[in-house]
Amino acid sequence: MFQEIKNYLEEQLYPFTITHLITFIVFTAITYYITEYILQFKLLKWIYIGTIIVLIASLYKQGDDVKAVRDIFKLATL
């Protein structure tokens, strides 16, 4: 049964293999726990949130409008 599922997944996701999936899950878990640990510190959390806000605002308005930054910051701090 497991071998059939493995073969089916390998056929559907070629060249993506089970090894890729396991590696992705492991790295995702490690990244999650590292991020959770880092975000326990308030200063680093605000730096992280500020960086995300600036990136979103830049993508949203291509850096032309300061109002977009204020709106996104208000949304993020709700």
pLDDT in tens, 6-57: 888 777 777 777 788 899 999 999 999 998 998 899 898 888 888 888 887 7
Same domain, 1 and 15: yes
Q: What is the pLDDT of residue 5?
A: 85
Question: Are residues 34 and 47 both part of a single domain?
Answer: no
44 within 8 A of 38, measured Cβ to Cβ = yes
Q: Which residue range is the domain that position 5 belongs to?
A: 1-38
Query: Do 51 and 69 share a domain, yes or no?
Result: yes
- Domain check: are 17 and 50 in the same one? no
pLDDT: is 73 or 2 the higher one? 2
pLDDT at position 59 over 70: yes
Q: DSSP states of 26-71 as a string?
A: HHHHHHHHHHHHHTTSHHHHHHHHHHHHHHHHHHHHTT--HHHHHH
What pLDDT score does 53 carry?
81
How far is Cα 46 from Cα 54, in angstroms, rounded to an integer? 12
Residues 19 and 51 occupy one common structural domain:
no
Q: Are 22 and 1 found together in one domain?
A: yes
The structural domain count of the chain equals 2
Amino acid 64: pLDDT: 55
